[in-house]
Amino acid sequence: MALSATEKKLDHLHWPLVLCTLIICSLGVWNLASATKNAPVALWWVQFKWMFAGVVAIAGILFVDYRWFQTLAWPGYLVALGLLAGVAFAGKKVLGARRWLQVGSMQLQPSEFVKLAVIVVLARWFTRDETGARKGQYGLVDLWRPFVLILIPVALVMKQPDLGTAMVTFAIAMTMVMFAKVKWRDLFILFATGAATAVLAWNKFLKDYQKQRLLTFLNPEAYAKGAGYHAIQSVIAVGSGQWSGKGWGEGTQNQLAFLPEQHTDFIFSVWAEEHGFLGGVALIALYAFLVLAALDVAANARDKFGSFLALGIAALFFWHAFINMGMVIGILPVVGVPLPLFSYGGSSVLADMLGIGILLNVSLRRFMF
Protein backbone atom coordinates (compact mmCIF):
# COMPACT_ATOMS: atom_id res chain seq x y z
CA MET A 1 0.00 0.00 0.00
CA ALA A 2 2.69 2.41 1.02
CA LEU A 3 4.69 1.23 -1.91
CA SER A 4 1.94 1.88 -4.39
CA ALA A 5 1.36 5.29 -2.87
CA THR A 6 4.98 6.07 -3.43
CA GLU A 7 4.74 4.72 -6.94
CA LYS A 8 1.77 6.91 -7.56
CA LYS A 9 3.63 9.86 -6.19
CA LEU A 10 6.53 9.09 -8.49
CA ASP A 11 4.14 9.03 -11.43
CA HIS A 12 2.95 12.50 -10.56
CA LEU A 13 6.39 13.89 -10.01
CA HIS A 14 7.19 16.70 -12.43
CA TRP A 15 9.74 14.64 -14.34
CA PRO A 16 10.59 17.25 -16.99
CA LEU A 17 11.48 19.62 -14.17
CA VAL A 18 13.59 16.96 -12.48
CA LEU A 19 15.33 16.19 -15.73
CA CYS A 20 15.97 19.85 -16.48
CA THR A 21 17.42 20.36 -13.01
CA LEU A 22 19.67 17.36 -13.33
CA ILE A 23 20.90 18.50 -16.73
CA ILE A 24 21.71 21.95 -15.39
CA CYS A 25 23.44 20.39 -12.39
CA SER A 26 25.53 18.08 -14.57
CA LEU A 27 26.52 20.83 -16.95
CA GLY A 28 27.29 23.01 -13.95
CA VAL A 29 29.68 20.48 -12.42
CA TRP A 30 31.26 19.78 -15.79
CA ASN A 31 31.75 23.48 -16.45
CA LEU A 32 33.06 24.07 -12.95
CA ALA A 33 35.65 21.36 -13.53
CA SER A 34 36.94 23.40 -16.46
CA ALA A 35 36.80 26.68 -14.60
CA THR A 36 38.80 25.28 -11.71
CA LYS A 37 41.09 23.02 -13.72
CA ASN A 38 44.15 24.79 -12.33
CA ALA A 39 42.86 25.07 -8.78
CA PRO A 40 44.68 23.02 -6.15
CA VAL A 41 41.39 21.59 -4.81
CA ALA A 42 38.85 19.70 -6.91
CA LEU A 43 36.04 22.19 -6.38
CA TRP A 44 33.76 20.43 -8.84
CA TRP A 45 33.73 17.45 -6.50
CA VAL A 46 32.81 19.66 -3.56
CA GLN A 47 30.05 21.14 -5.68
CA PHE A 48 28.89 17.68 -6.67
CA LYS A 49 28.63 16.68 -3.04
CA TRP A 50 26.51 19.72 -2.30
CA MET A 51 24.26 18.86 -5.20
CA PHE A 52 23.92 15.35 -3.91
CA ALA A 53 23.01 16.77 -0.52
CA GLY A 54 20.46 18.88 -2.39
CA VAL A 55 18.94 15.84 -4.05
CA VAL A 56 18.64 14.14 -0.67
CA ALA A 57 17.03 17.28 0.71
CA ILE A 58 14.56 17.31 -2.18
CA ALA A 59 13.67 13.72 -1.51
CA GLY A 60 13.13 14.64 2.13
CA ILE A 61 10.93 17.61 1.27
CA LEU A 62 8.77 15.52 -1.03
CA PHE A 63 7.64 13.37 1.88
CA VAL A 64 6.19 16.38 3.63
CA ASP A 65 3.10 18.20 2.37
CA TYR A 66 4.15 21.71 1.51
CA ARG A 67 1.15 23.13 3.36
CA TRP A 68 3.04 22.30 6.50
CA PHE A 69 5.52 24.99 5.44
CA GLN A 70 2.89 27.55 6.42
CA THR A 71 3.46 26.47 9.96
CA LEU A 72 7.19 26.63 9.43
CA ALA A 73 7.11 30.03 7.72
CA TRP A 74 7.51 32.19 10.81
CA PRO A 75 10.04 30.02 12.64
CA GLY A 76 12.00 29.69 9.36
CA TYR A 77 11.90 33.43 8.82
CA LEU A 78 13.07 34.14 12.34
CA VAL A 79 15.86 31.55 12.12
CA ALA A 80 16.99 33.16 8.86
CA LEU A 81 17.02 36.59 10.48
CA GLY A 82 18.88 35.13 13.41
CA LEU A 83 21.52 33.71 11.11
CA LEU A 84 21.85 37.05 9.38
CA ALA A 85 22.28 38.73 12.73
CA GLY A 86 24.83 36.05 13.57
CA VAL A 87 26.73 36.90 10.43
CA ALA A 88 26.73 40.54 11.39
CA PHE A 89 28.35 39.73 14.72
CA ALA A 90 30.29 36.53 14.27
CA GLY A 91 30.59 36.32 10.51
CA LYS A 92 33.77 35.51 8.70
CA LYS A 93 35.20 38.50 6.97
CA VAL A 94 36.38 37.89 3.42
CA LEU A 95 37.53 40.73 1.20
CA GLY A 96 35.92 43.33 3.42
CA ALA A 97 32.52 41.70 3.57
CA ARG A 98 30.92 39.60 6.31
CA ARG A 99 28.79 37.07 4.50
CA TRP A 100 29.77 33.72 5.88
CA LEU A 101 29.11 31.79 9.06
CA GLN A 102 31.60 29.17 10.08
CA VAL A 103 29.73 25.99 11.00
CA GLY A 104 32.22 23.31 11.89
CA SER A 105 34.41 22.93 8.87
CA MET A 106 31.76 24.39 6.56
CA GLN A 107 31.05 27.93 5.63
CA LEU A 108 27.44 28.85 5.39
CA GLN A 109 26.08 31.82 3.53
CA PRO A 110 22.78 32.53 5.32
CA SER A 111 21.68 35.15 2.80
CA GLU A 112 21.07 32.35 0.29
CA PHE A 113 18.53 30.73 2.63
CA VAL A 114 17.00 34.04 3.56
CA LYS A 115 15.59 34.26 0.04
CA LEU A 116 13.71 31.01 0.59
CA ALA A 117 12.51 32.13 4.01
CA VAL A 118 11.21 35.37 2.54
CA ILE A 119 9.44 33.49 -0.24
CA VAL A 120 7.73 31.19 2.24
CA VAL A 121 6.75 33.90 4.66
CA LEU A 122 5.37 36.13 1.89
CA ALA A 123 3.44 33.21 0.41
CA ARG A 124 1.93 32.61 3.81
CA TRP A 125 1.06 36.25 4.26
CA PHE A 126 -0.65 36.53 0.88
CA THR A 127 -2.53 33.31 1.58
CA ARG A 128 -3.76 34.37 5.00
CA ASP A 129 -4.40 38.01 4.38
CA GLU A 130 -8.02 38.84 3.76
CA THR A 131 -7.66 42.44 2.69
CA GLY A 132 -7.08 41.70 -0.96
CA ALA A 133 -10.11 39.49 -1.12
CA ARG A 134 -12.24 41.99 0.75
CA LYS A 135 -11.29 45.04 -1.29
CA GLY A 136 -10.79 43.13 -4.50
CA GLN A 137 -7.42 44.84 -4.84
CA TYR A 138 -4.46 45.75 -2.66
CA GLY A 139 -3.62 49.32 -1.98
CA LEU A 140 -0.10 50.27 -1.08
CA VAL A 141 -0.95 50.94 2.53
CA ASP A 142 -2.38 47.45 2.83
CA LEU A 143 1.02 46.07 1.99
CA TRP A 144 2.99 47.63 4.79
CA ARG A 145 3.42 44.37 6.62
CA PRO A 146 4.91 42.37 3.74
CA PHE A 147 7.20 45.36 3.11
CA VAL A 148 8.48 45.23 6.62
CA LEU A 149 8.99 41.49 6.22
CA ILE A 150 11.02 42.11 3.07
CA LEU A 151 12.99 45.12 4.16
CA ILE A 152 14.40 43.73 7.41
CA PRO A 153 16.40 40.91 5.78
CA VAL A 154 17.24 43.04 2.75
CA ALA A 155 18.67 45.71 5.02
CA LEU A 156 20.68 43.12 6.94
CA VAL A 157 22.11 41.65 3.73
CA MET A 158 22.88 45.12 2.46
CA LYS A 159 24.79 45.71 5.65
CA GLN A 160 27.16 42.77 5.05
CA PRO A 161 27.54 44.29 2.42
CA ASP A 162 26.14 42.15 -0.37
CA LEU A 163 24.46 44.42 -2.85
CA GLY A 164 23.72 41.64 -5.34
CA THR A 165 21.91 39.33 -2.95
CA ALA A 166 20.01 42.25 -1.41
CA MET A 167 18.85 43.34 -4.85
CA VAL A 168 17.83 39.86 -5.88
CA THR A 169 15.98 39.23 -2.63
CA PHE A 170 14.12 42.47 -3.09
CA ALA A 171 13.37 41.69 -6.73
CA ILE A 172 11.96 38.25 -5.83
CA ALA A 173 9.75 39.73 -3.14
CA MET A 174 8.54 42.50 -5.45
CA THR A 175 7.70 39.96 -8.11
CA MET A 176 5.55 38.08 -5.64
CA VAL A 177 3.82 41.30 -4.64
CA MET A 178 3.06 42.02 -8.27
CA PHE A 179 1.32 38.70 -8.60
CA ALA A 180 -1.01 39.63 -5.76
CA LYS A 181 -3.74 41.98 -6.83
CA VAL A 182 -2.10 45.37 -6.52
CA LYS A 183 -3.51 48.54 -8.02
CA TRP A 184 -1.57 49.75 -11.05
CA ARG A 185 -1.50 53.24 -9.57
CA ASP A 186 0.07 51.86 -6.44
CA LEU A 187 2.60 49.90 -8.44
CA PHE A 188 3.58 53.17 -10.09
CA ILE A 189 3.96 54.85 -6.70
CA LEU A 190 6.01 51.88 -5.66
CA PHE A 191 8.42 52.29 -8.53
CA ALA A 192 8.70 56.01 -7.90
CA THR A 193 9.52 55.30 -4.28
CA GLY A 194 11.97 52.66 -5.40
CA ALA A 195 13.75 55.16 -7.63
CA ALA A 196 13.87 57.69 -4.81
CA THR A 197 15.22 55.03 -2.49
CA ALA A 198 17.87 54.17 -5.06
CA VAL A 199 19.01 57.79 -5.18
CA LEU A 200 19.03 57.94 -1.42
CA ALA A 201 20.89 54.64 -1.20
CA TRP A 202 23.48 55.91 -3.67
CA ASN A 203 24.15 58.97 -1.61
CA LYS A 204 23.89 57.51 1.86
CA PHE A 205 24.36 53.79 2.03
CA LEU A 206 26.40 52.45 -0.87
CA LYS A 207 30.04 51.71 -0.19
CA ASP A 208 32.57 53.28 -2.48
CA TYR A 209 33.47 50.01 -4.18
CA GLN A 210 29.78 49.34 -4.81
CA LYS A 211 29.38 52.74 -6.41
CA GLN A 212 32.53 52.08 -8.35
CA ARG A 213 31.11 48.86 -9.73
CA LEU A 214 27.94 50.58 -10.82
CA LEU A 215 29.89 53.41 -12.40
CA THR A 216 32.15 50.96 -14.08
CA PHE A 217 29.18 49.32 -15.65
CA LEU A 218 28.28 52.59 -17.29
CA ASN A 219 31.74 53.08 -18.78
CA PRO A 220 33.94 49.99 -18.50
CA GLU A 221 36.73 51.09 -20.88
CA ALA A 222 37.55 53.99 -18.59
CA TYR A 223 38.41 51.54 -15.85
CA ALA A 224 40.09 48.92 -18.02
CA LYS A 225 42.89 48.06 -15.62
CA GLY A 226 40.97 48.81 -12.49
CA ALA A 227 37.34 48.43 -11.64
CA GLY A 228 36.14 47.77 -15.18
CA TYR A 229 38.60 44.94 -15.64
CA HIS A 230 36.05 42.31 -14.61
CA ALA A 231 33.45 43.54 -17.02
CA ILE A 232 35.79 43.90 -19.99
CA GLN A 233 37.54 40.58 -19.55
CA SER A 234 34.18 38.88 -19.15
CA VAL A 235 32.84 40.38 -22.36
CA ILE A 236 36.04 39.41 -24.19
CA ALA A 237 35.66 35.86 -22.88
CA VAL A 238 32.06 35.62 -23.99
CA GLY A 239 32.64 37.28 -27.35
CA SER A 240 35.65 35.16 -28.18
CA GLY A 241 33.51 32.04 -27.84
CA GLN A 242 31.93 32.81 -31.22
CA TRP A 243 29.56 30.13 -32.59
CA SER A 244 30.66 26.96 -30.90
CA GLY A 245 33.26 28.02 -28.36
CA LYS A 246 36.85 27.04 -27.75
CA GLY A 247 36.04 23.67 -26.22
CA TRP A 248 36.01 22.37 -22.66
CA GLY A 249 39.11 23.43 -20.77
CA GLU A 250 40.38 25.42 -23.74
CA GLY A 251 39.04 28.86 -22.88
CA THR A 252 42.11 31.03 -22.67
CA GLN A 253 40.37 33.78 -20.72
CA ASN A 254 39.30 31.25 -18.15
CA GLN A 255 42.34 28.97 -18.04
CA LEU A 256 44.95 31.72 -18.02
CA ALA A 257 43.15 33.62 -15.26
CA PHE A 258 42.25 36.69 -17.27
CA LEU A 259 38.72 36.16 -16.04
CA PRO A 260 38.33 37.12 -12.42
CA GLU A 261 36.06 35.07 -10.14
CA GLN A 262 35.60 32.69 -12.99
CA HIS A 263 34.18 29.91 -10.81
CA THR A 264 31.62 31.98 -8.95
CA ASP A 265 30.01 35.13 -10.33
CA PHE A 266 31.55 34.86 -13.78
CA ILE A 267 30.94 31.16 -14.36
CA PHE A 268 28.71 31.97 -17.32
CA SER A 269 31.64 33.58 -19.18
CA VAL A 270 33.50 30.32 -18.86
CA TRP A 271 30.53 28.48 -20.34
CA ALA A 272 30.03 31.01 -23.12
CA GLU A 273 33.74 31.12 -23.95
CA GLU A 274 34.14 27.38 -24.14
CA HIS A 275 30.78 26.47 -25.67
CA GLY A 276 29.99 29.50 -27.72
CA PHE A 277 26.70 30.95 -28.79
CA LEU A 278 25.12 27.54 -29.25
CA GLY A 279 26.06 26.43 -25.76
CA GLY A 280 24.95 29.76 -24.33
CA VAL A 281 21.54 29.62 -25.96
CA ALA A 282 21.10 26.02 -24.87
CA LEU A 283 21.81 26.95 -21.26
CA ILE A 284 19.47 29.94 -21.45
CA ALA A 285 16.80 27.63 -22.83
CA LEU A 286 17.28 25.32 -19.84
CA TYR A 287 16.84 28.19 -17.40
CA ALA A 288 13.85 29.43 -19.42
CA PHE A 289 12.34 25.98 -19.19
CA LEU A 290 12.93 25.91 -15.45
CA VAL A 291 11.29 29.29 -14.93
CA LEU A 292 8.38 28.55 -17.26
CA ALA A 293 7.83 25.18 -15.56
CA ALA A 294 7.80 26.96 -12.21
CA LEU A 295 5.22 29.45 -13.50
CA ASP A 296 3.21 26.54 -14.82
CA VAL A 297 3.32 24.92 -11.41
CA ALA A 298 2.15 28.22 -9.93
CA ALA A 299 -0.74 28.41 -12.37
CA ASN A 300 -1.82 24.90 -11.62
CA ALA A 301 -1.16 24.74 -7.90
CA ARG A 302 -3.76 23.28 -5.60
CA ASP A 303 -3.95 26.36 -3.43
CA LYS A 304 -2.90 29.94 -3.16
CA PHE A 305 0.00 29.16 -0.83
CA GLY A 306 1.44 26.64 -3.28
CA SER A 307 0.93 29.03 -6.12
CA PHE A 308 2.82 31.82 -4.37
CA LEU A 309 5.56 29.44 -3.34
CA ALA A 310 6.01 28.39 -6.97
CA LEU A 311 5.93 32.04 -8.08
CA GLY A 312 8.64 32.87 -5.58
CA ILE A 313 10.82 30.01 -6.78
CA ALA A 314 10.24 31.04 -10.41
CA ALA A 315 11.29 34.58 -9.49
CA LEU A 316 14.30 33.24 -7.63
CA PHE A 317 15.60 31.38 -10.65
CA PHE A 318 14.65 34.03 -13.13
CA TRP A 319 16.27 36.95 -11.32
CA HIS A 320 19.43 35.05 -10.53
CA ALA A 321 19.87 33.85 -14.06
CA PHE A 322 18.91 37.15 -15.64
CA ILE A 323 21.02 39.39 -13.41
CA ASN A 324 24.00 37.07 -13.48
CA MET A 325 24.04 36.56 -17.23
CA GLY A 326 23.23 40.20 -17.84
CA MET A 327 26.21 41.22 -15.77
CA VAL A 328 28.51 38.74 -17.45
CA ILE A 329 27.60 39.96 -20.92
CA GLY A 330 27.84 43.59 -19.94
CA ILE A 331 24.24 44.77 -20.00
CA LEU A 332 23.88 44.99 -16.22
CA PRO A 333 26.25 46.26 -13.57
CA VAL A 334 28.68 43.88 -11.97
CA VAL A 335 27.01 42.82 -8.73
CA GLY A 336 27.78 39.55 -7.04
CA VAL A 337 24.91 37.24 -7.90
CA PRO A 338 25.45 33.52 -8.48
CA LEU A 339 24.10 31.67 -11.50
CA PRO A 340 21.81 28.98 -10.03
CA LEU A 341 23.36 25.51 -9.97
CA PHE A 342 26.32 26.75 -12.05
CA SER A 343 28.26 29.07 -9.77
CA TYR A 344 30.43 27.41 -7.18
CA GLY A 345 29.00 27.70 -3.68
CA GLY A 346 27.44 25.16 -1.33
CA SER A 347 24.86 27.43 0.27
CA SER A 348 23.63 28.69 -3.05
CA VAL A 349 23.41 25.18 -4.52
CA LEU A 350 21.59 23.84 -1.48
CA ALA A 351 19.15 26.75 -1.45
CA ASP A 352 18.46 26.33 -5.17
CA MET A 353 17.88 22.60 -4.70
CA LEU A 354 15.52 23.27 -1.80
CA GLY A 355 13.68 25.65 -4.11
CA ILE A 356 13.38 22.92 -6.72
CA GLY A 357 12.18 20.60 -3.97
CA ILE A 358 9.43 23.03 -2.97
CA LEU A 359 8.44 23.37 -6.60
CA LEU A 360 8.23 19.60 -7.06
CA ASN A 361 6.29 19.35 -3.85
CA VAL A 362 3.71 21.91 -4.96
CA SER A 363 3.46 20.25 -8.34
CA LEU A 364 3.07 16.83 -6.76
CA ARG A 365 0.34 17.79 -4.29
CA ARG A 366 -2.04 19.23 -6.80
CA PHE A 367 -3.08 15.66 -7.50
CA MET A 368 -3.72 14.93 -3.83
CA PHE A 369 -6.72 16.60 -2.42
Partner 1 sequence: MLVRRDVDDIREIRPRTAMGALVCVCALLVIVVRLYQLQILRGEDYTIQSIANFRKSLFVPADRGLIKDFRGRTLVDNRPSFDVFMTPAFCKGKERDEVIAKLREYLKLTPEDVERIKIDYQKSWLNKDKLERFRPFLVDLDIPRDQVDVLEAHRTEMSCVNLIPTPHRAYRASPSLGHVLGYMSEVTPEEMDDHPEYRRGQTVGRRGIERRWERELRGADGKQNIAVDAKGRELDKDTQEALIPEGERLILATPGNNLVLSIDERLQEAADAAFPGRAGAVVVMEARTGFVRAMVSRPSFDPNKMSGRISRSELARLNEDPLKPMLFRVMNENYHPGSTFKVVTSLAGLENNVIGPNTGIFCNGGYTMGNHRWRCDKPEGHGSLSLKAALQHSCDVFAYTVGDKVGLDVLGEMAHRLGYGQPTGFDLGREIPGIIPDSKSITPEAGSARAQAINASIGQGEINVTPLQQAVAYAAIANGGNVLKPQIIRRIEAPDGRVLKEFQPELDLANGHAGKLEVKETSLAAIRAGLLAVVNEPGGTAYRSRLLDVKFAGKTGTAQVMKLGLKQKLDPTLQQYYSRDHAWFAAYAPAEDPEIVVVVLNEHGGWGAEAAAPAAAKVVLAYFRIKKEESAAVATPPVSASAAVR
Q: Which CB atom, from 59 or from 278, has the smaller least distance to partner 1? A: 278
Q: Which CB atom, from 212 or from 252, has the smaller least distance to partner 1? A: 252
Phi, psi of 331 (to 5 degrees): -110, -5
Q: How many angstroms separate the CA atoms of 236 and 238, rounded?
A: 6
Are 36 and 263 a contacting pair, CB within 8 Å? Answer: yes
Q: Which CB atom, from 9 or from 260, has the smaller least distance to partner 1? A: 260
Least distance from partner 1 to the Cβ atom of residue 301, Å:
6
User: Site residues (CB under 8 A) for partner 1?
Assistant: 127, 133, 175, 178-179, 181, 225-226, 233, 235-243, 252-253, 256-258, 272-273, 276-277, 280-281, 284, 287-288, 291-292, 295-296, 298-305, 307, 311, 314, 318, 321-322, 325-326, 329-331, 369
With vertex at residue 292, the alpha carbon angle to CA 366 and CA 191, rounded to the nearest 5 degrees, is: 105
Q: Which CB atom, from 266 or from 305, has the smaller least distance to partner 1? A: 305
Identify the DSSP state of 138. B
Least distance from partner 1 to the Cβ atom of residue 242, Å:
4
Handedness of CA 163, 316, 291, 247 (dihedral sign): positive
Q: How many angstroms separate the CA atoms of 216 and 194, rounded?
A: 22
Least distance from partner 1 to the Cβ atom of residue 85, Å:
33
Burial status of residue 214 (CB atoms within 10 A of its CB: 0-12, 13-18, 19 or more): middle
Least distance from partner 1 to the Cβ atom of residue 36, Å:
15
Instruction: Tell me the DSSP string of 251-268.
Output: -HHHHTT-STTTTTTTHH
Least distance from partner 1 to the Cβ atom of residue 338, Å:
16
Q: Which CB atom, from 262 or from 347, has the smaller least distance to partner 1? A: 262
Nearest to 205 by CA among 156, 168, 275: 156
Q: How many angstroms separate the CA atoms of 317 and 340, rounded?
A: 7
Q: Which CB atom, from 53 or from 132, has the smaller least distance to partner 1? A: 132
Q: Which CB atom, from 159 or from 366, has the smaller least distance to partner 1? A: 366
Least distance from partner 1 to the Cβ atom of residue 182, Å:
11
Least distance from partner 1 to the Cβ atom of residue 321, Å:
8
